[in-house]
Structure 1
Amino acid sequence: MSAVLPQNLWKHSVFLICLFPVLSGCGSGESDAPADLPVPEAAPLSSAQSAATEASDSESGEKVFDGIQFDVPVGWQQIPLSPAQQGMISASFQIPKAGPDVKLTLSSVGGGIEANLQRWRGQFQLPPGEEPIQKTVRVDDVEAIWLDLRGTFDTGPALNGTAEAGMRMIGVAIPRSPRDFYLKLTGPREQLLKAEPEFEAFLKSARFKQ
């Protein structure tokens, strides 16, 4: 009996040694490496982080806004709409290589083209002797209006804006049904000059999809 008891104790010890790794999730015997654990989910992004991610992840190429397809140039960043823009603006872009303050908005708005052009004119105080530059351009074989304004720009109380001198805006109004489509490029004059060629190419790429 004295020889049997140590042998039983030895068996129980071996059993407990083998059982511990199994209960720990390790010790399958197939590998000495720890077993794979679930990858923890990343913490939710804050709204500011989400906005930055969406902007940096935006890609160039063909995109459709309100039934019009455009070829978005490389480097343009589509950014999330602010609460004040939601319901009024269809899309908003920044053009960093032209300058940090160059912005483009796209929108479909009712009320008639002339009324909206007049509203744009009212947002600018032009220097003495300077007049708005207005011309007709063709967008996918449709006549649109190009309006170029330079001076002090005031977005108005609706957008909590402030008046800024030395600004420029190129606005394009495209007749559409039931609501006309508008492109509005704004920024400091010297920065907008750098963005103008790509903006013209963006406008010429427009194709009506519906």
Structure 2
Amino acid sequence: MKHLLTTTLLALGLAAALHAADTTPLEVAGLTFKYPATWTKAATASMMRVATLEAKVEGVEKPLEVAFFSFGAAGGVKANVDRWLGQFAPEPKAESKIEEIDAGGTKVTLVTATGTYNDGPPMGAKTPKADHTLLGAIIPAGDNNVFIKLTGPKDAVAKLAAVVRQLATSPFTK
């Protein structure tokens, strides 16, 4: 009985330590991103991703993925905004909004697009998903850019919009 109690306490302590590690700030391309304690770091599913966070949203079965990419300037801001908007079916036309915000002297570009999102790998088959939103951010990081991308059902992404905005500017706020 004593051995079982000790083992259980050690397992609980290890689980708590692992969970605490999940909420540590995320380092990408020399920038430190702060995210809510309710979000967790997840395995990165793609060679192009440098990090993935999972955000649970009430009413949505699976957590939404907030993906981080960093691979140089990668064509610049406009090319990436155009590529993101191009991931939506042409009809009906996606509603989109592009804004530049000042984050402590650094210009962060935020992109929001809603419509039929063509989900899938860059060179592979796509699955059209109606009423989906892409929320993205392009953040300069020296010679690189950091790209943050969240896609999912329109209502679920809307619940995370303010938090993603804070996430994108968190490296530049005290």
User: Does the C-alpha gap of structure 1 residues 91 and 170 become closer, same or farther in structure 2, counting only changes over 3 Å?
Assistant: same
Matches within 5 A, 1:109-188: 109=71, 110-125=74-89, 128=92, 131-158=95-122, 161-188=126-153
**Which whole-Å CA distance do the structure 2 matches of 1:129 and 1:81 have between them?**
31
Aligned-pair CA distance for 1:156:
4.0
User: Which residue, out of 150, 162, 168, partners 1:197?
Assistant: 162
Partner of 2:49: 89
**Deviation digits for residues 21-50 of structure 1 (CA, Å, limit 9, x no counterpart):** xxxxxxxxxxxxxxxxxxxxxxxxxxxxxx
Given that 1:140 and 1:206 are in contact with CA atoms closer than 8 Å, whether structure 2 keeps it comes out as no
Partner of 2:64: 102
Given that 1:155 and 1:161 are in contact with CA atoms closer than 8 Å, whether structure 2 keeps it comes out as yes
Equivalent position amino acid for 2:55 in 1 = I
> Does 2:39 correspond to 1:79?
no
Which has the larger strand fraction?
2
User: Does the C-alpha gap of structure 1 residues 188 and 207 become closer, same or farther in structure 2, counting only changes over 3 Å?
Assistant: same
Q: Secondary structure at the match of 2:78?
A: helix
Q: TM-score, normalised by structure 2?
A: 0.75
Equivalent position amino acid for 1:135 in 2 = E
Partner of 1:29: none
**Which whole-Å CA distance do the structure 2 matches of 1:180 and 1:202 have between them?**
15
**Deviation digits for residues 49-90 of structure 1 (CA, Å, limit 9, x no counterpart):** xxxx9xx835224231221111121111211112xx11x111
Given that 1:101 and 1:187 are in contact with CA atoms closer than 8 Å, whether structure 2 keeps it comes out as no
Q: TM-score, normalised by structure 1?
A: 0.63
**Which whole-Å CA distance do the structure 1 matches of 2:66 and 2:130 have between them?**
18
Q: Secondary structure at the match of 1:93?
A: strand
**Which whole-Å CA distance do the structure 1 matches of 2:69 and 2:121 have between them?**
19
User: Does the C-alpha gap of structure 1 residues 160 and 177 become closer, same or farther in structure 2, counting only changes over 3 Å?
Assistant: farther
Give identity over the alignment, percent.
23
Equivalent position amino acid for 2:29 in 1 = D
RMSD: 2.6
Equivalent position amino acid for 2:140 in 1 = P
User: Does the C-alpha gap of structure 1 residues 116 and 187 become closer, same or farther in structure 2, counting only changes over 3 Å?
Assistant: same
Given that 2:30 and 2:141 are in contact with CA atoms closer than 8 Å, whether structure 1 keeps it comes out as no
Q: Secondary structure at the match of 1:118?
A: helix
Partner of 2:6: none
Structure 2 residue runs of 5 or longer lacking an equivalent are 1-14
**Which whole-Å CA distance do the structure 2 matches of 1:130 and 1:117 have between them?**
13
Aligned-pair CA distance for 1:161:
4.3
